[in-house]
Amino acid sequence: MRSIDLRTPRRLAAAAGLMVCALVTVSPGPARADAPAAQWQAVNRAIVQGHVLPRYAALARATSTLQLQTVRFCADPRPSSLRFLRRAYALTAQAWADVEHLSTGPVMREQRRYRIRLWPDKHGTAAKQIRALLASADSAALEPQAFRGGSVAVQGLTAMERLLFPVADVAAEDFAGGDEAAFRCALLRAIGDNLADIAASVADEWESGAAADAGARGTMGETGGSARDAAAGFLRDLSTGLEALAMNKLERPLGPAPATARPKRAEAWRSDLTLQLLRANLASLQHLYMTGFSPVLTTDPIDGALDLRIRAAFTAALAAAALDQPLPALVGDAEGRARAQHLLAETRALQVLIGTKLPEALNLPLGFNSLDGD
């Protein structure tokens, strides 16, 4: 069974007419049907100030360091500078995992979300396009204007990971001497500049927008819409983030059986960051919940019980994510697979609470999401 994707669940929706009448006489009506705009403003403000702004600021710092390390490395490609660059890459990937679920506001402008990272790349487009770009050695394609307007698959983290962590062991020399190596480095630098530019814009626009809009809706999310709409947007991010985690990050690599497990469908298998990023996702989603929605539930005894269930489900999912081996190594192995499936089950259980019970309690609609297609 799945619930229709568009939910403004109401406690009383399924109740008989008699029940409705009875309840109207003794209670003001569905829990939060007429929750004042001020409540949603407070939720949005807490999320923006406590969750969104600090995370985008951290992403901007991480990409700025990454940019610096690409410049240093390409000026003098040595094993030590490659190590620093890879480290900066890992920190940026982690900072992205902390905001990956957010899909409102500046990150949605100019395809920024996808330019930072295209994943999953189900059709293998990044490999194809990077191969073609390296073969062409077309430096005009790396000019900022052209690079920004080109394919998203070559301009972000997915492409940089392929350059820094190829299957064959990469050496600093691969980026030094010869025209091909020089172009490889030029591409690295173009990606570094691009990421730093995008992340700085997103952070700046959130800061200035949030300041301008703080009194009205508590968020600068999409233009138009009410504070309640903006809160519903954050709820959708929370739910879709968990869905993406279960579907893209766990089910796709697990596949139907051990023999057909697909370890290379795991996120970040090249850089060996799979589990680290997955845990960062879960922790950040937990933080979003605790910052924005948990405080609303705890004002009501019935909803308070749901809050406890959701908190426990987050704890259980995070505990299941404490695997001692990389996910790609686990999926094809019977015993390891069981542990990965346990993590999937805990994530799914959490997603059901967040995707069906929480919208009902908050009386917020979830709407359709981008994962509803194939």
Partner 1 sequence: MFHRQIATACALLGAGFAGSMQAATSDANAVLIHYADMAQAKYADALKTAKDLQAAVDTLLASPSADTLASARAAWKTARAPYQQTEVYRFGNAIVDDWEGKVNAWPLDEGLIDYVDTSAYGEESDENPYYSANVIANETLTLSGREINASEITKTLLADELHEVDAIEANVSTGYHAVEFLLWGQDLNGTGPGAGDRPATDFDPDNCTGGHCGRRGAYLRTATELLVDDLTWITEQWDADGAAREALLQDPKQGLAMMLTGLGSLSYGELAGERMRLGLMLHDPEEEHDCFSDNTHWSHYYNVLGMQNIVTGTYKRVDGSSLNGPSLAELLAAKDADAADALRLRLEESLAQFDVLVDSAEQEGVAYDQLLADDNDAGNAKIQAAIDALLAQTKAIEAAVTALDLDGVSIEGSDSLDNPQAVLHGT
Alpha-carbon distance of 37 to 216, in angstroms, equals 9
Identity of the residue, 80 or 226, whose beta carbon is nearer to partner 1 in the bound complex: 226
Asked if 29 touches partner 1 (CB under 8 A), the answer is: yes
Alpha-carbon distance of 87 to 12, in angstroms, equals 53
Tokens 């009448």, residue located: 21
Interaction mask 112-141, partner 1, x per CB under 8 A: --x---x---xxxx-xxx-x----------
Alpha-carbon distance of 176 to 74, in angstroms, equals 8
Site for partner 1 in 169-188 (CB under 8 A): none
C-alpha distances in Å from residue 261, one per residue of 164, 287, 347: 25, 31, 19
Asked if 36 touches partner 1 (CB under 8 A), the answer is: no
Alpha-carbon distance of 137 to 266, in angstroms, equals 30
Asked if 149 touches partner 1 (CB under 8 A), the answer is: yes
Among 18, 26, 140, 168, binds partner 1 (CB under 8 A): 18
In single-letter form, the type of residue at position 25 comes to T
Among 197, 205, 207, 251, binds partner 1 (CB under 8 A): 251
**How many residues sit in the footprint of partner 1 (CB under 8 A)?**
63
Token reading at 61 = 């710092």
Identity of the residue, 25 or 301, whose beta carbon is nearer to partner 1 in the bound complex: 25
Site for partner 1 in 314-343 (CB under 8 A): 341
Among 34, 169, 179, 324, binds partner 1 (CB under 8 A): 34
Question: Among 27-35, 97-105, 207-215, 299-307, which window interacts with partner 1 (CB under 8 A)?
Answer: 27-35
Collapse the DSSP code of 262 into the 3-class scheme (helix H, G, I; strand E, B; otherwise coil) and give the result.
coil
Token reading at 279 = 């845990």
Contact in structure between 205 and 106 (CB atoms under 8 Å):
yes
Token reading at 93 = 């990937």
Asked if 168 touches partner 1 (CB under 8 A), the answer is: no
Identity of the residue, 1 or 301, whose beta carbon is nearer to partner 1 in the bound complex: 1
Asked if 254 touches partner 1 (CB under 8 A), the answer is: yes
Question: Among 1-9, 200-208, 279-287, 320-328, which window interacts with partner 1 (CB under 8 A)?
Answer: 1-9
Output b/e per residue, 21-58; b: 16+ Cβ within 10 A.
eeeeeeeeebbbeebeeebbbbbbbbbbeebbbebbbb
Identity of the residue, 6 or 211, whose beta carbon is nearer to partner 1 in the bound complex: 6
Angle at 152 between CA 151 and CA 157, to 5 degrees: 135
List residues binding partner 1 (CB under 8 A): 1-10, 13, 17-18, 20-21, 24, 29, 33-34, 111, 114, 118, 122-125, 127-129, 131, 149-153, 246-247, 251, 254-257, 259-260, 262, 264-265, 341, 344-345, 348, 356, 359-360, 365, 367-374
